[in-house]
Amino acid sequence: MGSYAAQYKAGYITAQARNSSTDPSAFVFKSCSITGTNYGKAYLGRAYGAYSRVIFADSTLSDIIVPDGWDAWSYIHEEENIEYMESGCSGAGADTSKRVSWEKKVTDHAYLNDFVDISFIDKEGWISKLPN
């Protein structure tokens, strides 16, 4: 566990389990607001599988976000397989200057767009089935 979590009892917003590089899954947070109370801090996510993938795009992140942002959890020394990305986020918790060094930098916007597109997010049609 990250040193901040151990010291301050930080929580986790995500724990995505992806166990293979060929698994197409991901947790995608697009145009979200991540807020909290004064009762603690939170990581954006921790690895629950060796190939965990989480994306925060165009979201507002409050100051509850731990500066490291991410935790490899049980996959320390395997971070090259983990895909954690942020793109276009704002707010006090969106400063990536102190994020873990292995956070993926978005350089291929076509790759990112594949995940933030509604065709990926709503592949099974659950969003369109929500009541109005």
pLDDT (tens, 9 = 90+) of the chain, 132 residues, equals 454 445 557 899 999 999 999 999 999 999 999 998 878 899 999 999 999 999 999 999 999 999 999 999 999 999 999 999 999 999 999 999 999 999 999 988 898 999 988 888 888 888 888 887
pLDDT for the residue numbered 91? 98
> Can you give the three-state secondary structure of the chain, one letter per residue?
CCHHHHHHCCEECCEECCCCCCCCCCEEEECCEECCCCCCCEECEEECCCCCEEEEECCEECCCECCCCEECHHHCCCHHHCEEEEECCECCCCCHHHCCCCCCCCCCHHHHHHHHCHHHHCCCCCCCCCCC
> What's the confidence (pLDDT) of residue 8?
57
pLDDT in tens, 80-118: 999 999 999 999 999 999 999 999 999 888 989 999 888
Mean pLDDT in the chain? Answer: 91
Nearest to 20 by CA among 49, 44, 43: 49
Q: Does domain 3-121 have CATH number 2.160.20.10?
A: yes
Extents of the domains making up the chain:
3-121
CA 70 to chain centroid, in Å, comes to: 7
* pTM across the whole model: 0.86
